[in-house]
A and B are shown apart, each in its own frame.
Chain A
Amino acid sequence: MGMLTTSGLSVSFGGKRAVDSFDLDVKAGSLVGLIGPNGAGKTTTIDAITGFVPAQGSVLFDGTDISGLSSTMRARTGLGRTWQSSELFDDLTVMENLQVASERVDVRGFLRDLFRPRNDDVSELMVILESLDLADSADVLPTDLSHGQRKLVGVARALAAKPKVLCMDEPAAGLDTEESQTLGGRIRALVDGGLSVLLIDHDMGLVLTICDYLYVLDFGQLIAEGTPAEIRANSKVITAYLGERHGGGSDPTGDDGAPVDGAPVGEVGVGE
């Protein structure tokens, strides 16, 4: 039994099955990748797991069924997520963004704050920012940051809630190769520190290098799962990606330097 398990997870949009009966398992302290061409249902899967779209099937988090909980309650039980487009709170500083995720509001605390606002301790959050090289940006508004830094603030905000499982939706999208590799190293370090991660990314080099286990979706269907080595050799996966490549005409050079030389899957990096 893993930290995060779905069984028969299905999402329909107006009769179309975006995710079809998906069984997924993220074991404690593991890094699980979820890949697939555009429109495969990857983000919808994360939305369903974190409670942002209505879904059928069950979602078990640390052994308890959370499929009846609101997205807020799921977040509070320790299921964090990041967003494809960061979705930062632009009116709050970077540190305040993190504080939103780490602090709870209760009526007594609120009434006290009306008269004498607490100086909340942010040293733990500062550690998170330091670990992501964001310490200098703590008092900056997110709008003043670079795209790559914004993505990192998104990750930092998710970490500020001290999640047990973190679902990351394309954290490396829009980053250059070097940034992407650094980020990969950081994600791996978090997992080695005990966090369980479900990672979506189009950078196949990144995913195949750092993940322990992979699921491959296409048109809402699970077409393959296994270790990176198994996936690299899987003919169904290759076909799905080649089809995507012929149809989409996307940039095939997204994974320079990734150690998957010659593997057909590795050649396809779908830029967004």
Chain B
Amino acid sequence: MSTTSASSWLTPKRIPALVAGILGVVLLIVVFANADQTQAIVLGLGGGALIAAIALSITLNYQGSGVVNFAAGAIAMYGGYVYYGLRVNGQLFLPPIPNPLAPIEGIAHLAGASSFSLPHIPVFITLAHPGQGAAAFGTFVQQPAMPVWAALVISLAVLVLLGLAFHFLIFRPLRRAPVLAKVVASVGLFIVMQAVIVLRFTSSAKSVAPILPSRPVHFPRGVSLPSDQMYLVLIVIVVTIGLWALFRFTRFGLATRAASENEKGALVLGYSPDFLAGVNWVASTVLAGFFGILAAPINQSIDPITITLLIVPALAAALLARFNSFIVTMAAGLGIGMLVSWIQLVSNKSWFPKAGGSALPGLTDALPFVIIIVVLALRGKSLPTRGSIETIKLPFAPRSKGAFPATMVLGLATIALLFVVTPIWRLSIVNSLVGMVICLSLVVLTGYVGQISLMQMALAGIAGFTLSKVADAHHIPFPIGPLLGATAAVVVGLLAGVPALRVRGVNLAVVTFAAAVTIQNLIFANPSWSGLKGASVNSPSIFGFRFGQNDPWTKLTGGGKGLLPNPWFGVFCVIVVMLLALAVVNIRRSRIGRHMLAVRANERAAAAAGVSVSGTKVLAFGVAAFIAGIGGALSGYRFGSVTAGYFGAIPSMIFLAYAYLGGISSVSGAMVGGIIVAGGILTTVFTNWLHISEQYTLLLAGIGLIIMAIQNPKGVAGAIRDGVHMIRRRRDAKGAVSSSGADSVPVEVAV
């Protein structure tokens, strides 16, 4: 805010050029240094082309609709699977569509007619049959069912329909929504697409035959490159030039560029911003999906995760080009691909940092993060923000009344339940309690201060791994160990949160997501820390009383061994959740909470009122990291170990979904969020009572998230609150009922 500025030659506009230049020089030096490194760099071109294509798709979206699409990688992956299903099996898979007849069938089953069956909506539409002969040996030697061109044409048609659906069903209704709602919707899309693929194809990799001709092409100095990678690079270059020309020379492109600055600009040129957004959604979906189709065979296989996670380097490339220049986006994408490939090669060298005897993993994933941080830190706020009017507000953060009695009643009731219910339910209650803690951390950071974080589970993991590797390894006893872990989470959270002082909104979401990917790969996947099996966590004990998840326990009545899991661990979780919930309620009711909401509402006005905007944000990052850290320690105790997969970037994303779905700006919302986490109480209701497969819960969470982003930013808890208010108002209008008796009934909504 003061008059300081960077030295005159380092203007924000020059930074991409500067970074690109430095990268170029480094690459050139390496290229001329020796041939095997040159080969590695060249082999990175294929991956780079895919990164570039996803980055182009992100840029197109941003230009067209102001959405930074976290699902762009998932769309590419989805496209790859559509093609795979058609080409190999001759089947077009459908996303799960609710069957209106299902409830009737369910009722019939409940009534005892278990053989009663009504028509089902098909899962696959079979368009061609696989070739004869080798089907018995599985897909590996199966003849393709459909010619390449047919599969390709149908896949592209599906992608067009998907793009239209994304626009009309999700992002058009959100065009006036705050950034948080748009990010949440794209996260929801990410979750839905991945869940659909896992449901239809399982999460194991499928082998795919090449589309582009693949034979080695030889270059001077013994360098060679498979021709399919070369074609991929050529195609991405052609697409980039096409996009550049389209945006440069056509009225449509001009209008989109105008709209990305100010939506009125497009209207002046005779285009509705809505139309432009729709066209760009279709274009970006087809672009990402098309390259997903072309690129999958380069790795000889396709799985639901690899391409999806290319969103991180792609975001780095798009950010480097300020979501603006297609040429820079493409160059950055190719560059990152080549650098990643080079790092993979040199990681075998003796000088490369080692961990546990083998090369330090995760550096390739850290690279995009470093690029993102450097670009954002240098460029600060100069990233263009879209000139559209936000008319939908962030969810309201209520000041709760009667939180203490409500917490006590709910807490004691939960403790009582823990000793009564069957082990399955006990486990799901504990899972929900752990989830509530993570959701509470998001209430503070995202709900109160409006800072979007996609790294809370990674911070939880920091605490979990610290508990395992530092506290347990050094025999640090129970209450200190988890607190130490939470402190470590605070340190990392503050380190990653400091860029938040310079970036806001969707850029912060990008930074935190990249941070989560980096932490996951650099620290959690580090073999000296965890490896594949994870790091063990000793069960907690106090004064010799062990109350870990799997410690034996004695029944309260009648004696004898009780069934595991140990309910005393659940009691411990309840106490932790109660303490944290009350603390977060108190934050909202005290000075710091008012300052947080002031910062969320209006940073300039908050500063003018003497509020330290950066101080408030730093405090919120610290508090949220601490709470997340406690959650990480709890889940470490709950599983007896900590693993990289559980605490990674995607879980962080999914937890934002749960927290938002529950209601991100209230403690009661965090409680609801905990109930709906995977493996939590709602999952058990689904699987045990409604007999809905567990895999569907994630899909439902994703769909619920999108609906919630569009319909009701207050979340489930907010909807309940509104409902109670409405009932109360109606009752008051009648004026006949005294309020004294009714106040004690709806306890949970008062939190």
Interface residues of A (CB under 8 A from B): 50-52, 54-56, 67-72, 75-76, 80-81, 83, 87-92, 96-97, 99-101, 103-105, 109-110, 113-118, 120, 157-158, 161
Contact = CB atoms under 8 A, between A and B. Distances in A.
B502 to A, nearest CB: 14
Would you list the 5 A-B pairs with minimal beta carbon distance, nearest first?
A: A113-B590, A87-B605, A101-B609, A75-B610, A117-B590
B598 A89 contact: yes
Given A72-B611, A113-B590, A115-B586, A87 B604 contact: yes
Contacts of B613: 72
A54 B600 CA distance: 23
B464 to A, nearest CB: 23
Contact of A100 (B394, B586, B589, B609): B609
B721 interface: no
Contacts of A101: 609-610
Given A92-B597, A103-B594, A52 B604 contact: yes
B394, B397, B604, B619: which has the most chain A beta carbons within 10 Å? B604
A69, A114, A120: which has the most chain B beta carbons within 10 Å? A114
Interface string B573-614: 000000000010011011110110110111011111111110
A92 B602 contact: no
A72 B610 contact: yes
B608 A75 contact: yes
A161 B612 CA distance: 14
B2 interface: yes
B396 interface: yes
B590, B604, B613: which has the most chain A beta carbons within 10 Å? B590
B590 A118 contact: yes
A120 B591 CA distance: 8
B441 interface: no
Given A68-B2, A69-B2, A110-B619, A80 B587 contact: no
Interface string B1-40: 1111100000000000000000000000000000000000
Contacts of A56: 3
A80 B610 CA distance: 9
B511 to A, nearest CB: 23
Contacts of A87: 602, 604-605, 608
Contacts of A75: 607-610
Contact of B587 (A70, A96, A100, A113): A113
B189 to A, nearest CB: 28
A185 to B, nearest CB: 25
Contacts of A68: 2-3
A228 B1 CA distance: 34
Nearest to B609: A101
Chain B residues touching A, range: 35 or more
Given A87-B602, A115-B583, A96 B594 contact: yes
Given A99-B594, A114-B586, 16 more contacts: A52-B1, A72-B613, A75-B608, A75-B609, A81-B608, A88-B602, A91-B601, A92-B594, A96-B597, A103-B595, A109-B591, A110-B592, A115-B583, A115-B586, A117-B589, A158-B608
B586 A89 contact: no
B446 interface: no
A54 B610 CA distance: 18
Nearest to B585: A117
Contacts of A116: 586
Interface in B394-415: 394, 396-397
A173 B595 CA distance: 28
A7 B616 CA distance: 33
Contact of B1 (A51, A88, A115): A51
A115 B595 CA distance: 18
Given A90-B393, A110-B619, A67 B589 contact: no
A54 B591 contact: no
Contacts of A118: 590-591
15 contacts: A54-B1, A54-B2, A56-B3, A67-B2, A71-B604, A72-B610, A72-B613, A75-B610, A90-B393, A97-B598, A100-B595, A100-B598, A100-B611, A113-B592, A114-B586
B2 A99 contact: no
A91 B3 contact: no
B577 to A, nearest CB: 15
B586 A117 contact: yes
B589, B598, B604: which has the most chain A beta carbons within 10 Å? B598
A49 B587 CA distance: 33
Nearest to A157: B609
Nearest to A81: B608
Contacts of A115: 583, 586
Given A75-B608, A99-B594, A51 B589 contact: no
A186 B381 CA distance: 39
A100 B583 contact: no
B595 A105 contact: yes
Contacts of B619: 105, 110
A92 B595 CA distance: 10
Contact of A83 (B396, B590, B600, B605): B605
B47 to A, nearest CB: 40
Contact of B3 (A50, A54, A110): A54
A88 B5 CA distance: 30
A224 to B, nearest CB: 28
Given A110-B592, A115-B586, A89 B608 contact: no
A103 B583 contact: no
B2 A70 contact: yes
A97 B611 CA distance: 12
B589 to A, nearest CB: 5
Contact of A90 (B591, B601, B608, B615): B601
A89 to B, nearest CB: 4
A115 B585 CA distance: 10
A91 B586 contact: no
A53 to B, nearest CB: 8
Contacts of B5: 54
Contact of B608 (A50, A92, A99): A50
A61 to B, nearest CB: 14
Nearest to B4: A54
A71 B613 CA distance: 10
B381 to A, nearest CB: 12
A71 B591 CA distance: 20
B396 A100 contact: no
B135 to A, nearest CB: 61
B601 A89 contact: yes
Contact of B586 (A71, A113, A120, A161): A113
A105 B598 contact: no
Contacts of B608: 50, 52, 71, 75, 80-81, 83, 87, 158
Contacts of A51: 1-2, 607
A108 to B, nearest CB: 12
A96 B396 CA distance: 14
A124 to B, nearest CB: 15
Contacts of B602: 87-89
Contacts of B3: 54-56, 67-68
A157 B610 CA distance: 11
A48 B397 CA distance: 33
Contacts of B394: 91
Nearest to A54: B3
A11 B192 CA distance: 50
A87 B604 CA distance: 9
A70 B1 contact: yes
A92 B3 CA distance: 32
Contacts of B610: 72, 75-76, 101, 104, 161
Nearest to B613: A72
Contacts of B589: 113, 117
Contacts of A109: 591
A96 B590 CA distance: 10
A15 to B, nearest CB: 14
A120 B616 CA distance: 19
B568 to A, nearest CB: 25
Contact of B605 (A88, A105, A110, A117): A88
B595 A71 contact: no
